[in-house]
Amino acid sequence: MHEVLLVLHNLLRWFVLAFGLWALLRPESRPGAFFAHTLTLQVVLGVVLAFASPLVQGALLALDEVMRAGGEPRYFVAEHWVGGLIALGLAHAGLSQARKGGRWARLLFALALLLVLLSIPWFRPLLRL
């Protein structure tokens, strides 16, 4: 199950990036909704994946040691999901602005997309099948 979730989480990343770029170029309701809702699905998959992941579960058992040591376990326990959650909030705030015709939608989508890009583990394979 862990591998299936990992493949889905990995593939959905590309949709999130594509919809994020679309929302950035056209900060309107429809592109913003695709971006925000795809990112929501990505975060939900990530939370489920964290509960199924032996890496995260093992790191949580030795949290103090993992936080001091750094590296890949620390990245997934502390940084990866925090960036995703903040990006999710920004994307939904951008969607709200886009629906109201607000002028902040593009900035919020840009910040969300930037955080998504910073939160992607680029040191891992770009495509898992």
52 CB burial (10 A radius; 0-12, 13-18, 19+):
middle
For residue 108, which of 10, 13, 39 has the smallest C-alpha distance?
A: 39
Contacts of 65 (CB under 8 A, 6+ apart): none
Q: How far apart are CA 4 and CA 23, in angstroms?
A: 28
* 37 close to 15: Cβ distance less than 8 angstroms: no
For residue 97, which of 23, 43, 38, 37 has the smallest C-alpha distance?
A: 23
Mean pLDDT of the 120-129 span: 77
Token digits of residue 55: 């890496």
Q: What is the tens place of the pLDDT at every residue in 13-59?
A: 999 999 999 999 999 999 999 999 999 999 999 989 888 877 666 66
Q: What's the pLDDT at 38?
A: 98
pTM: 0.87
C-alpha separations of 77 from 6, 68, 70, 74, 96 in Å: 16, 12, 10, 5, 30
Q: What's the pLDDT at 53?
A: 75
Cα 91 off chain centre by: 10
Band (118; pLDDT cuts 50, 70, 90): very high
For residue 126, pLDDT over 90 is answered with no
Q: What is the tens place of the pLDDT at every residue in 69-114?
A: 777 777 877 788 899 999 999 999 999 999 999 899 999 999 999 9
Q: What's the pLDDT at 54?
A: 76
At 53 the three-state DSSP class reads: coil
Q: What percent of the chain has pLDDT over 90?
A: 59
